[in-house]
Structure 1
Amino acid sequence: MQRWLILADDLTGANDCAVAFARHGHAAAVVWGNGAAEPGDSVVAVDADSRRLPPDAAAARHRALLEAWRSPGAALFKKIDSTLRGQPAAELAETLAVLREAGQPALAIVAPAFPATGRTTEGGHVRLNGDPLEATPLWARDHTYPTAELSAVLAAAGLDAGHLPLEALRAGDAPPAAALRGALAAGTAAMVCDAATAEDLAAIARATLPLWRRVVWVGTGGLAAALAAAAPGGRAEPPPLPSLPASGGLLLVVGSVAEASRAAAERLLRAGGVHFFPIAPALLRAGPGAEWHAAAEAIAGVLARGEDALVTIGTEPAADLRQGAALTEALAMLLRPAGRRMGGLFATGGETARAVLAGLGIGSIRLLDEVEPGVPLGLTRGRAGVPVVTKAGAFGNMDTIGRARDRMRALLQGRDPE
């Protein structure tokens, strides 16, 4: 079975990609911090936790991780954000530099489309639900580059790029193969690939898999799913889920300000059956005190009774997104007593999930299945099988948290989750 190394800029992205391989029969794990892979893992996704770093620091972290984890016998997938948050160009440039220095020059296959979540690439430009990415609230709230035109983004990092348009991709196997051969012969750094459907991504996978020793795939869970389906050695159906003993209640944490996540939290509250704990940013900034400890004990108490707790970071009209990492770390500290009581964790926002789990000494997840596209389910390692569902902040819809809660409850109770 082909081995894979996935290098991701946050935990939710690492999970999105690894679970695609798990669903096709590969033993897939995500690791971070001091976490370690196990001998049977054929797919290892490493979370660099670099989303909010400046370009030089993000690139340096990718270099260090690639040098530590790279194996000549493993195919390489560079996970980037589907809406170009973070520093994907600088990270890719450093990744290609490491490979060149090791005598393995590679062509980057850049295909960030994830049609199942509304992300497409057309004319070399990222679109969200049909609109130019630059015209969306996501871009207005958080973006790194002046444009979502991929060749320009790559050029800013010193990477020249060819372009494989939809019409060539859909014309059969010969045009994509010819374009790839030409780019490899010319020493081009990257090939930007359009994709508007899952079949477009499948065509990219079929055209590029035979070249796995000479390419680096750059994309999201959409491309990972296409590669996992086309790669040899897997199976069509996900493995059966284990039966777990029921323990504490579910800890449901919304650390994202994205509209999709907030709407899903509101829908869950209206449905009832959960205890709600909105945590004010001012409380997190102030640090441990009487109010802090009261909130921490109240959340832990709910979970100890086997009931579910929904925790959100309150919104502030003039919030500075640069404070997000500090608030997330503070929230993870506040939730540490709750984490020792929880029977399962749902977390939206990669920084949130990583911080909560790392605070409990957990550094690895074994991926099992998806609740829905882009919302993976796994089990922690280093603690007896605690189910974990993660979701990128802008993925999903108003029912996503409820579905994740139902799926984890079914797993803990030994029921058919469907």
Structure 2
Amino acid sequence: MTSRWLILADDLTGAADCAIAFARRGLTASVGWQGVEAGWETDVLAIDADSRRLPPGEAGARHAALLRARHRPGAGLIKKIDSTLRGQPAAELAATLAALREAGRPSLAILAPAFPATGRTTVSGRVHLDGAPLEGTPLWARDHSYPSAHLAEVLGTAGLSARHLPLDLLRAGDAALAAALRDALAAGFDAVVADAVLPGDLDALARASLPLAEQALWVGSGGIAAALAAALPGGAPDSLPARPAPRGGALVVVGSVAEASRLAARRAEEEGAAAFDVPPALLRAGPADPRWAPLSEGIAVTLAAGRDALVRIAAEPDADLAGGAALAEALASLLAPAARQMGALFATGGETACALLGHLGVTGIRLLEEIEPGVPLGVTQGALEVPVMTKAGAFGDAGTILRSLARLRDPGPARPHALPQESAP
């Protein structure tokens, strides 16, 4: 079985929370991003294509180009998608499959977006969030790309054919599941859509599909990445590489509008973090706004004094999500002078984290451990070396930021993250 993996993701937090699964198993793992040269210096290379907000054609073309430039014979391939189907997962997968077939590699996409540890499951081929159909949630109402969260229909928008793997097949034993995968490949399907409610469902899928690594790619989120890593030979290391201790205040940047991130930010403020709310109008105006320089300086002074600085884009009604990339870039410009005083970074929202790190001359993140599901910890590479934690906006709960900062300052050695235990559906 391969020990080298390429992960293509549509945002930074997704790239990191997939790659960290392999780091937990003792493989070296790094994250890079679009426009930054990266090679095979590590066992696992995850690349943020920064395609979440691109139109379908551009998003697909970017993934195909990265695949042609970075994939190597014998390496496993994961196409990371958002577990709630934001962005352009169907177009990106179609372009990735076309590029593989151009290279003479027949490929079956194994689509399994479930991430049970974070409440994402797949039932009857449809994505659910915390037990409810995704289409009925506020997250879907705020941001979605497709008419429904039925995965075969989603793939159909890009002209891809799919066969459904129901939950009873996932639990029928590895031999039956492996046979179903081989049948789908022989029948010429572009993809299979796998149900999953428990981590064990994804574990079964990983065991059955790994022997097809030369003919398959996996499409999903951190859940399938963790299952694949766990199915590889060998076990988790007793300890993980050392990480630098923070030498000052932590910069906590909340660029996500997701309720989970807002609650966590509020809790961190209640426990003593200095809060700075940044109006979107200020970011749109730029440095010419008289509020810009004093705000940037205030954040820098807070960090230099060793205090945590919590920076969040102020919520606004009827926000234009299509302008999120521009706001993230403007926020990064505002924070760049102050960030040189930080001892560590905690960032929610992939666009925000990537933009800020790019401004600081960071070319990648070497991953070390996972604080909790969906919250990896690493060390920046390039012009600046500081501990960094990233989190997708909708992951976690009200205590996630506080627990993460406490672990960051724990003087003990890094330790493998304990995965949640399975529970009944």
Give the TM-score normalised by structure 2. 0.95
Distance in 2 (alpha carbons) for counterparts of 1:203 and 1:246: 40
Contact 1:34 1:363 in 2 (8 A): no
Q: Are the counterparts in 2 of residues 276 and 311 from structure 1 also a CA contact under 8 Å?
A: yes
Q: 1:308 to 1:326 in 2, by over 3 A?
A: same
The letter of the residue matching 2:393 is G
**SS of aligned partner of 1:242:** coil
Tell me if 1:136 matches 2:137. yes
User: Is the Cα contact below 8 Å between 1:24 and 1:238 reproduced in 2?
Assistant: no
Instruction: Give deviations 1:130-166, integer Å, cap 9, x for gaps.
Output: 0000000000000000010000100111000001101
Tell me how far apart the structure 1 counterparts of residues 195 and 62 of structure 2 sit (CA, whole Å): 29
Taking the TM superposition and a 5 Å limit, the aligned residue runs for 1:39-50 are 39-50=40-51
| Paired residue type of 2:227 | A
* Structure 2 residue aligned with 1:258: 258
AA of the residue aligned to 1:275: A
1:51 aligns with 2:61: no
Aligned residue type for 1:370: E
Q: SS at the partner of 1:330?
A: helix
- Preserved CA contact (<8 Å) 1:164 1:193: yes
Q: How many residues align?
A: 413
Q: Cα–Cα, structure 1 residues 253 and 222, in superposed 2: closer, same or farther, change >3 Å?
A: same
| Structural mapping, 1:3-152, within 5 Å | 3-37=4-38, 39-152=40-153
- 1:350-388 Cα shifts (integer Å, max 9, x gaps): 001101101111120011111100111111111453111
Which shifted more, 199-208 or 175-184?
A: 175-184
Following the alignment from structure 2 to structure 1, what is the Cα–Cα distance between the partners of residues 83 and 278? Answer: 29
1:291 aligns with 2:288: no
Q: 2: CA distance between counterparts of 1:192 and 1:378?
A: 32
- State the alpha-carbon separation in 2 of the partners of residues 193 and 240 from structure 1: 32
Q: In the alignment, what sits opposite 2:376? A: 376
Matched letter for residue 131 of structure 2: G
Runs of 4+ in 1 over 6 A off after TM superposition: none
Matched, 1:345 2:334: no
Structure 2 SS opposite 1:288: helix
**3-state SS, counterpart of residue 365 of structure 1:** strand
Q: Which runs of 5+ in 2 are unaligned?
A: 416-425
1:355-394 → structure 2 map (5 Å cutoff): 355-383=355-383, 385-394=385-394
1: CA distance, partners of 2:229 / 2:70: 20
Q: Distance in 1 between matches of 2:383 and 2:28?
A: 18
Which is further off, 383-392 or 51-60?
383-392
CA shift digits 1:66-124 (9 cap, x unpaired) = 11101112111000000000000000000000001000010000000000000000111
The answer to whether the 8 Å contact 2:251/2:311 transfers is: yes
1:188-337 equivalences in 2 (<5 Å): 188-232=189-233, 234-237=234-237, 239-272=239-272, 274-289=273-288, 290-337=290-337
Equivalent position amino acid for 1:342 in 2 = M
Distance of 2:236 and 2:245 partners within structure 1? 28
- Structure 1 residue 279, shift from structure 2 partner: 0.5
Distance 2:283 2:151 in 1: 38
Equivalent residue letter for 2:153: A
Change (3 A) 1:107 1:244: same
Report the RMSD for the aligned CA atoms in angstroms.
Answer: 1.4
Where structure 1 has 5 or more consecutive residues not aligned to the other structure, the ranges are none
SS class of match (1:297): helix
Where 2:409 maps in the other structure, the secondary structure is helix
Counterparts of 1:318 and 1:205, CA distance in 2: 41
Give distance in 1, aligned partners of 2:18 and 2:268. 27
Question: 1:184-220 deviations in whole A, cap 9, x for unaligned?
Answer: 1111100001110000000000000011000010010
Larger mean Cα displacement after TM superposition, 33-42 or 256-265:
33-42
- Aligned equivalents of 1:227, 1:245: Cα separation in 2: 31
**What is the CA–CA distance in structure 1 between the aligned matches of 2:124 and 2:54, rounded to whole Å?**
29
Deviation digits for residues 254-295 of structure 1 (CA, Å, limit 9, x no counterpart): 0000010001111111122x1110001111111003310111
Q: Is the 8 A contact 1:93 1:157 kept in 2?
A: yes
Q: Could you tell me the percent identity over the aligned residues? A: 63
Contact 2:20 2:29 (C-alpha < 8 Å) held by counterparts: yes
User: How many angstroms apart in 1 are the aligned matches of 2:246 and 2:393?
Assistant: 28
Going from structure 1 to structure 2, the CA distance change for 1:189 and 1:238 (only over 3 Å counts) comes to farther
Secondary structure in 2 matching 1:277: strand
Counterpart for residue 406 of structure 2: 406
Question: Which has the larger displacement, 185-194 or 170-179?
Answer: 170-179
Q: Distance in 1 between matches of 2:157 and 2:340?
A: 45
**Residue type of the alignment partner of 1:192:** V
| 1:191–1:238 distance in 2 versus 1, CA, 3 Å | farther
| Cα shift at 1:180 | 0.8
Deviation at residue 36 of structure 1 after TM alignment: 3.9
Shift in Å, 1:235 = 2.8
Give the TM-score of the pair, scaled to structure 1: 0.96
